[in-house]
Amino acid sequence: MAAPLTMSTPRDRPAIPAVLLNVCFVLAVLNVVFFPAFYGRGWIFDDQGLGMPTDFVNVWSAGRLALDGHPALAWDWGVQKQLQVAVLGQSYEGNFAWHYPPPFLFVAELLALLPYGLAFVSWPLVSLIPYLAAMRAIVGRPFGLLLALAFPVVMTNTLVGQNGFLTASLIGGMLVLLPTRPILAGICLGLLSYKPQYGLLFPLVLIATAQWRTFVSAGVTVVALVLVSWLAFGSDSRQAFFKWMPMFSQAFLTEGRAPWGKMQSIFALVRYFGGSEPLGWTFQWVMTATVAATLVVLWRSRVRYELKAAALATGTLLVTPYLFLYDVMVLAIAVAFLMRVGLAEGFARHELPVLGLAAVLLMIYPLLGAPTGFGATLLVAGLIAARCGAWRKRAAQPAGQPSALIMTSAHPQ
């Protein structure tokens, strides 16, 4: 029988380690202040007033096509690029293809009601709000807001106008709400269906732990989204989505139209170092099976809930081959759960240095163009595994016997 899911509530609030507070403050300032200073010009538009080719243009143009009564054309690469070139005022190499399920057209439509530049600015700012709320709730104190702004991928997600904040907030919201508000947790999970590649681990864990209210709530939400989008955008949109998906998979997972270094999965890592596609899939499926089995065992154990949640958020990134750096925003959720535990119990001597190394790997991606985000995810996964092992050891010790885990003080030196 699976253990009940409950989040711990610390009775006291130890001080935040000075080094952690200072590093997070510096990173947050870099994201909040230096971003507009360095990218205020040449972010959305260049010096000639032409639009900069980047990911957000596919969202806005898909919304524009839907508003104009042609939602199914959002998945047509040729039509999309023609509209995008008109919006940007210049052409570019390759494609910014729309590949989301039809329900996400509702978000695209709302953004397309605004002028392109205003929509670009609004999207990261609006989606930042639920992300901040989720991080604050997970950490359990205002420091969660600083940690959220300090996460290195914040700048990357904002720069390209992507949906990393939304994805992180839905996963974070689901994990925060699951112990006490299972139906709301299911709604968050159902809304996450706009990212189908995240659809493996969550249902598996819910079934393994008999969280049926959340499971049903998520299913009802998905069905409702499908029905509403079908009424709004017609059958042609659903058919277009399934028609173009094989071409999209062929282009990005077989042909490598996006450089392999841009994707942050073990599949991409193998391809980045010259491995064949079958070898990449072999590594990916082995990792997926290992992560899935580990999570089922972990979630059915009596390990504290925060570690289960951190492991699930991290595992979500490890099991999908299609993962870009902005998707690694989800890693902030795992880090937040680790912070909640560390601030309550104290940090092991290695934990903050390892988290610092993970942050460095995320920050140096623009310099290397390599799957450094995958390395950061593995580091966080290792910290979670170490915490789970230490928790089990302490739980197995007789009462009164001191723990063998050496912790650093949570108080600044």
Q: pTM higher than 0.85 for the full model? A: yes
Query: pLDDT at position 18, please?
Result: 94
Query: pLDDT at position 396, please?
Result: 60
Q: What is the pLDDT of residues 120-179, one digit of tens each?
A: 999 999 999 999 999 999 999 999 999 999 999 999 999 999 999 999 999 999 999 999
Angle between helices 116-139 and 105-112 (to 10 degrees): 130
User: Average pLDDT over the chain, rounded to whole?
Assistant: 90
pLDDT band at 299 (very low <50, low <70, confident <90, very high): very high
CB 155 within 8 A of CB 190: no
Q: What is the pLDDT of residues 224-252, one digit of tens each?
A: 999 999 999 999 999 999 988 888 888 88
Q: What is the pLDDT of residues 10-46, one digit of tens each?
A: 666 778 999 999 999 999 998 888 766 655 566 888 8
Average pLDDT score over residue span 214-218:
97
CB 328 within 8 A of CB 373: yes
Query: pLDDT at position 213, please?
Result: 97
- Asked if pLDDT for residue 309 goes beyond 70, the answer is yes
Q: What percent of the chain has pLDDT over 70?
A: 90
Average pLDDT score over residue span 215-230:
97
pLDDT band at 405 (very low <50, low <70, confident <90, very high): very low
> Which residue type sits at 85?
V
Dihedral sign from CA coordinates of 152, 156, 159, 162: negative
Query: pLDDT at position 36, please?
Result: 64
CA-to-CA distance for 251 and 293, rounded, in angstroms? Answer: 30
- CA 126 to chain centroid: 16
In the DSSP assignment, the letter for residue 263 is B
Average pLDDT score over residue span 314-337:
96
Q: Is 80 helix (H, G, I), strand (E, B) or coil?
A: helix
Candidate from 22-31, 176-185, 210-219, 390-399 with smallest mean pLDDT: 390-399
Query: pLDDT at position 33, please?
Result: 81
Query: pLDDT at position 406, please?
Result: 35
CA-to-CA distance for 258 and 124, rounded, in angstroms? Answer: 23
CA-to-CA distance for 247 and 396, rounded, in angstroms? Answer: 52
Q: What is the pLDDT of residues 92-104, one digit of tens each?
A: 988 898 999 999 9
Query: pLDDT at position 412, please?
Result: 33
Query: pLDDT at position 38, please?
Result: 58
Closest CA to 405 of 339, 346, 327: 346
